[in-house]
């Protein structure tokens, strides 16, 4: 790792799989940490084979979540494997796991055991639920989004709850965990000690849903699904407007601030309806909300005659918040996103050219080029030599015993 990166020299033992945990360690990798992905020799991270289209070839799902990591194999169910992992813990800064509840403790690496091995280790865990009646339950993204409230908020009042497209229950939890890890690293500079970090997926989704609790505070009732209109029920326009074209995503989302008339007046000028500035039906956020059907009609007349890009550019240039509804292919092909490495292409030994989203946090003095995900056990030789001074002959012996 280049020494100019923010987390250069930070060693992470990554026992994560699927998405929530791997999102955390990938974020740390993109900040410059050395992520050692410790995997079972028999197939490794279950995400490698999840949703793959080619038997024996890592899935795009795995590749998107494990960029910039190094992979070693180690069977923690063997006594020798546990001995090797114990030695690695003595040199690690961080250990992160998201196994099913109770698994890591059964392997002998619960927090108390690890803290005794190395008091400086920051020990991070991601689980589905926190202490309480559900704490031993297994969870995935859609479970966390259900139990955390986001499904109840997504859709229209007439529809059943809908799972949001983004996996905020998984990746969102991983990013919450990364924040905790970074804070613990800072605190360790003062105390010299590591600590335990626990993030529940349900809790992370609740945190993402804070504005819904604002609506509950206003009404005294549970927040309801509001479709594409303002979640607080106080803003117009706040919605999706059809644009010129016949694609499923030919829409633009338009929003004006509920804090005053500044955006609304700009909007009227941009669509050629200056005559409505000061109109009593629309001259306050409250009145615009009361007449939101008429607001929608006015805007739809404008948007239907223009493409979503034209609408976004016209309103954006006028200082009005507006966003075209871009699909994943449009984003992948966006030159501006490519230029700032938000969309990057890497060379994979089995998949060839592979395109994935990069890291959105841009730092002036810390830059990590996005690298491909590792093959299973690809870095056994170099990592075991660096960490434990093991030779190729040592590794052959361990391999013959199914330890690596």
Active site residues: 170
Q: DSSP letters along 299-322, please? A: HHHHHTTS-HHHHHHHHHHTT--E
What residue spans of 122-261 are helical by DSSP H?
141-147, 150-153, 171-191, 201-208, 210-219
Strand segments (E) across 230-306: 238-242, 251-255
By CB neighbour count within 10 A (0-12 exposed, 13-18 middle, 19+ buried), where does 133 fall? exposed
Facing residues of 242 across strands?
Answer: 251
What is the C-alpha to C-alpha distance for residues 86 and 115, in angstroms, rounded to an integer? 11
Q: DSSP letters along 33-50, please? A: -EEEEEE-TTT-SGGGTT
Contact call for residues 85 and 404 (beta carbons, < 8 A): no
């Amino acid at each position: 790792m280049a020494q100019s990166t923010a987390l250069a020299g930070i060693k992470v033992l990554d026992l994560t799989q699927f998405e929530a945990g791997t999102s955390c360690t990938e974020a740390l990798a993109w900040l410059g940490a050395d992520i050692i992905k410790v995997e079972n020799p028999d197939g490794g991270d279950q995400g490698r084979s999840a949703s793959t289209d080619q038997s024996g070839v890592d899935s795009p799902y795995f590749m998107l979540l494990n960029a910039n990591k190094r992979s070693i194999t180690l069977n923690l169910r063997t006594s020798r494997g546990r001995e090797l992992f114990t030695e690695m813990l003595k040199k690690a800064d961080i250990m992160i796991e998201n196994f099913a509840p109770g698994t890591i403790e059964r392997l002998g690496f619960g927090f108390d055991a690890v803290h005794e091995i190395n008091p400086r280790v920051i020990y991070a865990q991601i689980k589905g639920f926190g202490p309480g009646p559900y704490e031993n339950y297994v969870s995935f993204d859609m479970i966390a989004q259900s139990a955390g409230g986001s499904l109840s908020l997504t859709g229209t009042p007439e529809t059943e709850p809908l799972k949001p497209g983004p996996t905020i229950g998984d990746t969102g939890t991983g990013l919450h965990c990364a924040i905790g890890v970074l804070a613990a690293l800072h605190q360790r500079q003062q105390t010299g000690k590591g600590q335990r970090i626990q993030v529940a997926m349900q809790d992370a989704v609740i945190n993402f849903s804070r504005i819904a609790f604002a609506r509950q505070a206003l009404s005294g009732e549970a927040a309801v699904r509001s479709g594409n209109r303002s979640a607080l029920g106080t803003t117009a326009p706040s919605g999706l407007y059809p644009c010129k074209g016949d694609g499923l995503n030919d829409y633009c989302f338009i929003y004006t601030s509920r804090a005053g008339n500044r955006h609304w007046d700009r909007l009227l000028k941009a669509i050629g309806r200056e005559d409505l500035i000061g109109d009593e039906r629309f001259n306050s956020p409250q009145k615009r909300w009361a007449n939101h059907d008429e607001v929608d009609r006015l805007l739809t007349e404008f948007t239907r005659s223009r493409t979503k890009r034209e609408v976004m550019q016209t309103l954006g240039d006028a200082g009005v918040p507006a966003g075209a509804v871009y699909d994943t292919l449009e984003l992948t092909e966006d030159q501006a996103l490519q230029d700032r490495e938000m969309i990057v292409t890497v060379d994979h030994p089995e998949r060839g050219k592979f395109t994935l989203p990069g890291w959105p946090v841009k730092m002036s003095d810390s830059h990590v080029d996005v690298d491909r995900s590792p093959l299973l056990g690809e870095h056994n030789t170099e990592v075991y030599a660096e960490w434990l001074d093991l030779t190729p002959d040592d590794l052959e012996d361990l391999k013959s015993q199914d330890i690596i």
